[in-house]
């Protein structure tokens, strides 16, 4: 894993950054930066998409107990529409890093796929980083659990007719049927839902 090589080089605080919610039709984009103490991370970390909901919840608790610091960024659907999803993703990654640095300044940052310019810290952007980095895997889990929780506890009560508890805002058959029936709500991304305008 990438951290092992970096720790051996003498770098102590390695930040891993990932997001959840880049592709849904509704709801926020949630990004996270996780920094573990050197050689201290929970077993079983992997891409959140490869885990069941119960596995993610269990690892979420272990990550929060093990991590040295965690920074979270939540970007709402209005800002996603305003900036476009790519720029919103970069903004969210940068904010998650800044929030993590309240506790400590990382020596190195690993991003999943997205390149984030103008950071004062050495970094690497790589595809499938969740399978190459403990910290990025942890960030993917934390982001996914937090976003799913928001869709269930916040968005579902506000907009019960759309069934966010089932699809979390993604463009499933059920969600598209609800959009055809009810139209767009305030939490839908207009730039993602052109055919329903």
Q: Considering the domain 2-148 in this protein, what is its CATH number?
A: 3.30.420.10
pLDDT class of 117 with cuts at 50, 70, 90: very high
Checking phi first, is residue 84 left (phi over 0); if not, alpha (psi -120 to 50) or beta? left
Q: What ranges do the domains of the chain cover?
A: 2-148
CA angle 86, 183, 173 (to 5 degrees): 70
Mean per-residue pLDDT, 136-145 = 98
pLDDT at 197: 74
Alpha-carbon torsion (104, 46, 77, 124), positive or negative:
positive
Q: Give the closest residue to 107 by CA, choosing from 41, 4, 10.
A: 10
Q: Tell me how far apart the alpha carbons of residues 31 and 71 are, in angstroms, rounded to a whole number.
A: 8
Q: What is the mean pLDDT of the chain?
A: 97
Cβ neighbours of residue 170 under 8 Å, at least 6 residues apart?
23, 24, 25
Taking only the tens place, the pLDDT of each residue in 45-103 is 999 999 999 999 999 999 999 999 999 999 999 999 999 999 999 999 999 999 999 99
What predicted TM-score, i.e. pTM, was given to this entire model? 0.96
> What is residue 176's predicted lDDT score, i.e. its pLDDT?
97
């Amino acid at each position: 894993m990438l951290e092992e090589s970096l720790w051996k080089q003498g770098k102590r605080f390695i930040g891993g950054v990932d997001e959840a919610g880049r592709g849904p039709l509704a709801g926020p984009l949630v990004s996270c930066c996780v920094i573990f103490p050197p050689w201290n991370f929970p077993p079983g970390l992997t891409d959140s998409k490869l885990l069941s909901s119960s596995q993610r919840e269990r690892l979420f608790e272990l990550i929060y107990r093990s991590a040295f610091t965690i920074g979270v960024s939540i970007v709402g659907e209005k800002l996603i529409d305003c900036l476009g999803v790519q720029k919103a993703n970069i903004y969210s990654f940068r904010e998650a890093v800044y929030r993590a640095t309240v506790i400590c300044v990382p020596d190195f940052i690993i991003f999943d796929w997205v390149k984030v310019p103008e950071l004062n810290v050495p970094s690497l952007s790589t595809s499938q980083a969740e399978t190459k980095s403990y910290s990025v895997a942890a960030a993917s889990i934390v982001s996914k659990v937090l976003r799913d929780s928001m869709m269930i506890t916040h968005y579902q009560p506000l907009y019960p007719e759309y069934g966010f508890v089932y699809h979390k805002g993604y463009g499933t058959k059920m969600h598209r049927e609800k959009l055809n029936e009810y139209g767009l709500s305030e939490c839908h991304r207009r730039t993602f839902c052109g055919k329903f305008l």
